[in-house]
Amino acid sequence: MMRRLLAAWCLVGLSWGTAWGAESYSCRFAEGGWQAADWTLVKSPRWERLGEWVQEAGAIRNQTPPAAAAADLLGKSAPETYTSMVVAKPFEGNLSVRTTLAFEDQMAPLIVLAPELGKDAGGRPEYREHFEIVAYNKGINVWHHTWADGKPAWKKAAYWSFEVEPGTPCVLEVQVNHSSRGPMMVVRLDGREMGYLDPSLPTRCYVGITGCEGVNRFYDFSARSE
C-alpha cells in the first residue's frame, strides 16, 4: 500500500506544494506544505461548533475530544469531531478531486462538494446543500444534504459495500462529469470504482474535506476542473 502511495506522490511530485492555477489547486498537508489562507473553515448546520485541524508532521487530523472512547466519537461526542474546510475559490465544469486519507477506527473522512455556502447567526460559513463522499470501514457512502425552510436534511444517494482497513492510508477520488447522459459522479477508492447518475449534481461548487465520527487524517489534496 505505502509503495503505491509513494509512487503516486512521485508522479505528481513536481506539482505538489500549495499551488493555484486557473482551474486547479493542490497541496500536501505536511508541515509547511499548505496554507490555511487558501481554505475556508465551514461548520455543519447540525451543530454549533466550528471545528479545527490539528497539524501533524505529515498530515492534518480533525480535532477530537482527547479522552473520548471510539464508540463515543460515533455517538454523543460526534459534534465535537466535525472539522471541515473547502478551497476558498469554487470550481466550474467537469471536476476531479483527489485526497489521500485514513481513519483510526471506523469512520468517516470524506470529500465534500458544496454548490454554495451559507452563514450561521454569527456570520460563520455554514453548509447548505452539499454532497459528502465518505470512506469508512464498510466501503463508500454518498450523502446528499439539502436545505429547506431553514432546516437541514440528508439522504443516502449511493453506496458501495466492501472492507476498508482502518489505519491504512488510501486514495479517494471523485469525478463529476456533465454530458448528454446527464451529470454523473464517479468514485474511486484505491482502484475500485463506482458511478451513478444524479441530475442534482452541480456545475459549480466549492470542494474540500471533512473529518468526523472518529480520528481522520488527510495527507494531500488536489482538485481541477475543465
Instruction: Tell me how far apart the alpha carbons of residues 181 and 199 are, in angstroms, rounded to a whole number.
Output: 10
- Please determine, for residue 183, whether its predicted confidence score (pLDDT) is greater than 50: yes
Peptide bond into 59 cis (omega under 30): no
- Are 108 and 142 spatial neighbours (Cβ–Cβ below 8 Å)? no
Fold exhibited by the domain 2-225:
Jelly Rolls (2.60.120)
Cell of 172: 479517494
- Percent of the chain past pLDDT 70, that is, above it, reads 90
Per-residue pLDDT at 69? 74
- Please determine, for residue 92, whether its predicted confidence score (pLDDT) is greater than 70: yes
112: nearest Cα among 17, 202, 215: 202
Q: Is the dihedral of CA 120, 69, 208, 202 positive or negative?
A: negative
Per-residue pLDDT at 191? 84
- Please determine, for residue 169, whether its predicted confidence score (pLDDT) is greater than 90: yes
- Please determine, for residue 13, whether its predicted confidence score (pLDDT) is greater than 60: no
